Amino acid sequence: MTARASEFDLIARIHQRAASRGDVVVGIGDDAAILSLPPGRQLVVAMDTLNVGVHFPEDTAPADIGWKSLAVNLSDLAAMAATPTWCTLSLSLPQPDEAWLDGFLDGFLALAASHEVALVGGDTTRGPLSVCVTVHGLVDPRGALLRSGARVGDDVWMTGTLGDAAAALRQWQSHRPIDPALRARLDRPTPRVEAGLALAGIAHACIDVSDGLLADLGHICRASRVGAQIDVDALPASDALIAAFDPPARRELQAAGGDDYELCFTAPKTARLAVQDAMHACEVIATRIGGITADAGKIALRDAAGAEWSPSHAGYVHFEG
């Protein structure tokens, strides 16, 4: 009884704070939402869950959990070159906690507002802390970026810098003080929505780096039946990462660390200027890190001197409490 009564209280609180959009015919408050799509656009849908103790430490600020749960989903839309429109939220909480919810909504709705995304439905329920978000977006059928479009000879590019989120986790796991700049990358990743949209019509293939560059570039290579050659010394690093980790440790974090939510994309060599212009227009730095090869399924890593390099473990650095 109490839990259920409070579920309605929580939903009312969410409803009260959620902004709407002109294309929301029915939002929160009925059995389902009704949404109106413009003609000539296709619907893009992504869904991701964050669980306490698996995707974030228990003491993470509610606002950061709110931000990140939407950010990781918007990042998937970014990788498809989709314009975000609506989202739904399913929130499991150990007990109804309005203060926690308010903090969560501060982060969630701030990011939603900055991309004009309307929260249109979902549910709240009792259970171990877990946040499931589904995001919807629109795409021009000719402009969607898939994992399967990479071609031999393409350049491989990265937006932003790599390894920061994994570096923050490494510091946390080794009980060292966490550099605030690195921690911000872990807690408040920036979904590269504008960059993804700007790459429509220019890039051949795209993915967001959530599991680590090697794992995610591997997805592009498998889907496109190609290989890649990467210059590990060209991987972009933040000043904070350079200050905190020596080059061997840094390379590991950049190549295999997850949770950066930057875009890895391929584009033809003839499009180098177009890529730079597009990224400049949305104030995102993009770095060429290698090229696509015909050696299907193989990612060859070399340092600046041309020597082969491989990470000490092929996986990813990810929080698992």
List residues binding a second copy (CB under 8 A). Answer: 1, 3-5, 25-26, 29-37, 39, 42-49, 51-55, 76-77, 79-80, 82, 86, 88-90, 92, 120-123, 125-128, 130, 132, 134, 136-137, 139, 141, 144, 146-148, 206-208, 211, 223, 313, 315-316, 318, 320
Please say which residue, 63 or 135, places its beta carbon nearer to a second copy: 135
Minimal distance in Å, beta carbon 69 to a second copy? 12
Please say which residue, 5 or 99, places its beta carbon nearer to a second copy: 5
Helix (H) or strand (E) holding 156: strand 155-159
Please say which residue, 53 or 180, places its beta carbon nearer to a second copy: 53
Cα-based angle 192, 145, 34 (whole degrees, multiple of 5): 80
Please say which residue, 122 or 290, places its beta carbon nearer to a second copy: 122
Give 38's DSSP letter.
P
Please say which residue, 3 or 296, places its beta carbon nearer to a second copy: 3
Minimal distance in Å, beta carbon 72 to a second copy? 10
Cα-based angle 306, 312, 317 (whole degrees, multiple of 5): 115
Minimal distance in Å, beta carbon 82 to a second copy? 7
Minimal distance in Å, beta carbon 305 to a second copy? 29
Please say which residue, 125 or 276, places its beta carbon nearer to a second copy: 125
Helix (H) or strand (E) holding 159: strand 155-159
> Encoding tokens for residue 2?
């109490």
Three-state secondary structure call for residue 208 = strand
Please say which residue, 125 or 287, places its beta carbon nearer to a second copy: 125
Minimal distance in Å, beta carbon 209 to a second copy? 11
CA-CA-CA-CA dihedral for 162, 165, 168, 174, to nearest 10: -90
Minimal distance in Å, beta carbon 13 to a second copy? 17
How far apart CA 262 and CA 79 sit, in angstroms, is: 9
Minimal distance in Å, beta carbon 310 to a second copy? 15
Give 149's contacts (C-beta < 8 A, 6+ positions apart): 203, 204, 205, 224, 266
Give 115's contacts (C-beta < 8 A, 6+ positions apart): 74, 84, 191, 193
